[in-house]
Structure formats: structure tokens, C-alpha cells
Chains A and B, each alone.
Chain A
Amino acid sequence: MAAPEPEAPATAPSRAKDHSPWNWLLFIPIVVPLIPVFFNGDSPRVFGFPRFYWLQLAFILLGVGTTTLVYQMTKKRGDS
């Protein structure tokens, strides 16, 4: 099996960063939307939407916010 060529050091920082502890944050938008006690209720209503509906739609923002944060915190330097 051909061993991969030795890597140029330029790519090394991105590898180290892939193990960033920031990645653990991604478990928040995986776990929170799966806990029904948070959203399985009617009140309070927002614009006529029961909590069940508006809160789950709001979890989309939680997902977007978390992935954006983790991406910004872990991306390669000199790449922004």
C-alpha cells in the first residue's frame, strides 16, 4: 500500500484544529431538539403558534448558531 506522501507543514495546523474542543458544542443542537419536555406544550403562544411549534422552529436557529460558531472557531487561519 502506497503510504501517503509526507505532508507539507502548511496543512498541519488544520489537522490539529480538527480535534478542537469546540466540536463538542455540536452536541447541543443534536441533543436539545430531542428532549420533548422542552417543547411539548401549548403555552406560551407566539403569534398564535403553540410552544410545540415555535420552539422547535427556534431550535433551527440554535443549530445554525452553533455550527456557525464552531466553524468560525475551528477554521484555518489566513482563510477568512
Chain B
Amino acid sequence: MWRDHLTEIIVFSLLFLLVSAMGFVAARWRAPKDMAHLDEWGLGGRSFGGWITWFLVGGDLYTAYTFVAVPALMFGAGAAGFFAVPYTIVIYPLVFLVLVRLWSVSHRHGFVTPADFVRNRFDSPVLALLIAITGIVATMPYIALQLVGIEAVLKTMGVTGDNALARHLPIIIAFAILAAYTYQSGLRAPALIAFVKDSLIYIVILVAVVYLPYKLGGWGDIFAAADAKFDASPNPNDGILLNGNNQLQYVTLALGSALALFLYPHSITGVLASRNRDVIKRNMSALPAYSLLLGLIALLGYMAIAAGVKPLPGASAGSVDNNTVVPLLFDQQFPDWFAGVAYAAIGIGALVPAAIMSIAAANLFTRNIYKEYLKRDASPAQEANVSKITSLVVKVGAVACIVFLDPQFSIDLQLIGGVIILQTLPAVALGLYTRWFHRTGLIVGWAVGMALGMWMLYQVASPTRKHFGGSAFPLSEFGFDTTRTIYVGIVAVLVNLAVAALVTLALRAAKVAEGVDGTTPDDYFADEGDPRVTPGADRDANAAREPVA
């Protein structure tokens, strides 16, 4: 009953209203002369310094869903859920090496999306279109999942209804407000809100990891309780340590997720919004503070075991919703007002990434579909306008996914999203280093990687489902005599690379035209203050060339 949670609901609502007001005010924060430009609306003027970038990218990468789902995974499966820690360690050196180059080349040429870069680098609008569509398709379910995070909180507070519309009304309102201020303020809104969101999360988690072990008898007892639970369960692959079967899966999932995360359009948007290379590099040393936070959050799953939390029922009869374990733990262990703060941290935590993701998807549509195929001569003001409207459409789509479809569908799609975004690695990440691959080779590799990834995911069964049961692919399916599993995305991207390389060799032997590289080696090291290539001249030069690939 919601009446039992009145204090929590009031605290949650007040904090939610506060950040909504901030979202609208953000349009005037560090206000540009002219907001009607995609660089301003979609990238915050490419002007964010160290602190803002830290909060923005931190708030962007560590989403509400992460904060809810990772402890839920620990609660359900144990050590396998801790992959989130190596995953978020490995990503920063990768960004340090790779995305800094993307920042430079984008700064120089005025690129807004990774597909802009690919178009220019490989002289192929088709490849750019594929990259853009992959990005949009991978991002949409990720936005929907942020709603799953909010819903877990609302459910725990007893805010539910008898029919689908009543049950979803709070998140529809929340997303309508979010859509309105994102429309008005662009990337400045999540950047400003991220300060509140991240501060709340840090406070809540620091209190939780000091106070809860004290209440639950210390870390030794917490791990003992988890160990006892997994010993008693019939599943052979859970436990507080990994076993022989899931170690390969653990490391490939960590690596694959890290590679996927920095290819996601929303991470790239966060990185491109920074002021210069130094801001990014310094942040790679500072952002791991969030990884520590995430590691501690993951352990909340064990605390929930030790505290005897029983998850609330799921959408279908007989199932349980493990995503509710952390909200329930807070409800059970904290005073009402502090549980309200914790819920607000999760709820607001959903808004920041949802805003950035919708902006990133909107930018992809505007730059690589609208401007490329619908209106070649769009002015910067028109681009900004199309992007604003698209961001609304994207959010409506995300809400519709949650309201009309089983949330499990979004979770499946997000699983697929990680695998498909990895297929852009050869063109985007390796493209920053080499133009050795032929554009047609990259297209064929992408197609094969996508098809293989989908097939493998389809084949994965779980105790409750026959298909799309997870991302751990049993190697025995390939005919190996083993019970080991591996992360689908890694296999798909390796095959993608191999195919791209073979096709490249064949096309080169046949002397098929490769197009013209629109970038120079110097572009990859350009920094703040270096002159820019005028985007207009750049685009026209490309447009004048014959259609390709």
C-alpha cells in the first residue's frame, strides 16, 4: 500500500521536482549566443571542463538500470554479476587511447556523431547509415530500461495501479517532464542534473556500505549468507566465486561490455562535449571513482541476501522481480526519509542517461539520416530543430516499449543492443587508427557479425526460457567438447573483423575504388584552439563526389 510509504513518496517527489526545475533553468546555464545550433543543443557547445565532464559522463555511463540490475544479478547468480567491476576498469584506458582521437578529429571537422566520422573517413554514406541505424537501435531499449529502474522504485513504494495505464502514469509524467526540459535545454539539462544525481548516489551508497554491514553483522557474515544461499540452490553456476565454466564468459563479457560501452552513441556524446583532450585524459583517472561505487553497489545484492529480502512478484505470475531487491533492502533497513532519498537517487539517476541517450539518438538521426538523405542543405538551426523533435519521438517510443510490451522485451533488446553496437568497432574504433579496411569489407563484416550475433543470442537458453536466455554462449554449440561459455559479442565481432579483412583483401586484389579519406593524420591530434576545417566546405566536397559503396 502506498500510504505506508508516504514519507518516502514525499521526499522522492520533492527531489524530483527540484531536478525538473534545474532541467528547465539549464538552458540559461553557460548560455550560448545562439542555441539554434546542434553543437549547442546536442553537445553543450563542446565546452565542458573537467568537473562537468566527470559528473556528466559518470552520470551517463553508470545508469539507474546498472545500479538496480547489477546487485540484482549478484543477488541471483553471485560472482558472475561482479563482472561490472573489471568491465568499468578496462574501459578507461581504452577511452584514453581511442576516444581522445575521435574527440580530436571531431573537433577539427565538426563531427557530432560517430557515423559522421565514418562517413568522412571511409567516404561511404552507406556505411555511415549502417553505423547510425545500429546506434539508434542499440540505444532505444537502453532508454526504455531506465524506466525499468524507476519502476522498480515505484513498485517498492507501492505506487501501482489496477490497469496498465494507471500503473504507468507516474513514469509517463516523469518522462513528459524530462522530454520537455531536454527539448528546451539540450545536453545542458543532464549536465546540470548530473551534479544532483551523482551527489545523491554517492551519499546513499557511502551510508549504505558503512551502516548496513554494521547492522547485518559485518562483511564476513554477509559473504557467509550469500555462500549459504548459493550452496543451497540447484544452479551449478552460481556461487561467491567463479567456476571452470563461467570464467571465460566472465572476462569476455567484461571486455566486450567495455568495448561496447564506449561505442554507444551516448558515451561518445559525453566525450565529444568536453572542452579539450586534457579534460578527457584527466577524467580517465577520475571516473574510476564510479567503478568503486559500482563495486560497492553490486555488493548490496549480497546484503539483501543477508537481510533476508524477498523480491516482489514480477510481471508474469509465479516469477519474481529481482530488480526490486535493492529498493526493498533500503525500505527494510533505512528510516523512511533516507529510503526516500535513496529512491530519488535511483529515479533521478534514470533521467540523466535517458536524456543523453535520447539526444545522442536524435543527433544520429539528424546528421546521418535527415541531413544525408532528406535535406542536404539543412541549416544549423534546422538541424537543431530536427534533433529536438526527434529526441521527443525517441522518448515516446521508449515509454511505449515499457507500457505496451513486457519489460522483459526491453531487457532482451538491451542484451542484443550490446552485441550489435560492438559490430561498429571495426569502422569506428579501428577506423581511428587505420584506413586499411575497405569500406565494402566493413559493410560485409558488419552484416555477418550482426547475423551471427543474433543467431547466437537466439540459441542461448536459460532455466526459464528457450531463447534469448542471456549472453553466455555454450562453446559446445560450435562442436567443442566443453561446458565452457563465452560472451556472444566477442565471437561476433571477431568474425566480423575476419570477414572484413578477407573482403578487403579480395577487393584490393580486384582494385575496387576505396574512396577518399576526408581526414589527415594530423586531425587525430588536434586540440582546443587548433583551426577547424569549415564543415560546409567539407560536406560540399563530399557531396560533389560520385555516389559510392
The A39-80 residues at the B interface (CB cut-off 8 A) are: 40-42, 45, 47-50, 52-53, 56-57, 59-60, 62-64, 66-68, 70-71, 75-76, 79
Tell me the B285-305 residues at the A interface (CB within 8 Å).
285, 288, 291-292, 295, 299
| B295 near A56: Cβ-Cβ < 8 Å | yes
- Report the bound CA distance from A47 to B522 in whole Å: 51
Which of B219, B285, B295, B542 meets A47, CB within 8 Å?
Answer: B219
A window 1-31: CB within 8 A of B: 1-5, 7, 11, 14-15, 18, 23, 26-27, 29-30
Knowing A26-B97, A30-B93, A40-B247 touch, does A7 contact B522 (C-beta < 8 A)?
A: yes
Q: Are the C-beta atoms of A4 and B522 separated by less than 8 Å?
A: yes
Distance in Å: Cβ of B47 to nearest Cβ of chain A: 19
List chain B positions with a Cβ less than 8 A from chain A: 79, 82, 85-86, 89-90, 92-94, 96-97, 108, 218-223, 240-242, 247, 250-251, 254-255, 278, 281-282, 284-285, 288, 291-292, 295, 299, 516, 518, 520, 522-527, 530-531, 533-534, 537-538, 541-542
Bound: A70/B291 CA distance, A: 20
Contact A42–B531 (Cβ < 8 Å): no
With contacts A33-B90, A40-B242, A56-B82 taken as known, whether A63 is within 8 angstroms of B541 at the C-beta atoms is no
- Nearest chain A CB to B119's CB is how many angstroms away? 13
Find out whether the CB atom of B534 lies under 8 angstroms from the CB atom of A14: no
7 more CB-based (< 8 A) A-B contacts, given A11-B530, A15-B522, A29-B92: A4-B520, A11-B525, A27-B93, A48-B220, A49-B223, A52-B79, A52-B82
**Assembly CA distance A50 to B254 (angstroms):** 20
Residues of A within 8 A of B288 (CB): 60, 63-64
Chain A nearest CB: distance from B41 CB in Å?
Answer: 26
Known: A34-B255, A36-B251, A40-B242. A59 touches B86 (CB 8 A): yes
Structural contact, B250 and A15, CB atoms closer than 8 A: no
- Chain A residues within 8 Å of B92, by CB: 29, 63, 67
User: Considering only CB atoms and an 8 Å cut-off, how many residues of chain A contact the other chain?
Assistant: 44
Bound together, the chains give a CA A5 to CA B90 distance in angstroms of 37
Complex CA–CA separation, A1 to B109 (angstroms): 12
User: Can you offer 10 A-B residue contacts whose CB atoms are under 8 A?
Assistant: A1-B516, A1-B538, A34-B254, A36-B242, A48-B221, A52-B241, A53-B82, A60-B295, A63-B92, A64-B285
**Residue in chain B with minimal CB distance to A66:** B93
Contact at B89–A33, with CB atoms within 8 Å? Answer: yes
Write the nearest CB–CB distance from B440 to chain A, whole angstroms. Answer: 21
Complex Cα distance A2/B241, Å?
Answer: 57
- Shortest CB distance B298–A (Å): 9
Q: Which of B93, B282, B524 has the largest number of chain A CB atoms within 10 A?
A: B93
Query: Contact between A67 and B285 (Cβ–Cβ < 8 Å)?
Result: yes
Contact of A29 among B79, B93, B524 (CB under 8 A): B93
Q: Tell me if A2 and B533 are in contact (CB < 8 A).
A: yes
Name the residue of chain B whose CB is nearest to the CB of A31.
B90
**Most chain B Cβ neighbours within 10 Å, of A1, A3, A34:** A1
Contacting A4 at CB < 8 Å: which of B108, B223, B284? B108
| B291–A34 CB distance below 8 A | no
A20 to chain B: closest CB distance in Å?
Answer: 11
Q: Determine the distance from Cα of A2 to Cα of B220 in the docked complex, in whole angstroms.
A: 65
* A36–chain B nearest beta-carbon distance, Å: 4
Contacts of B531 in A (CB 8 A): 4-5
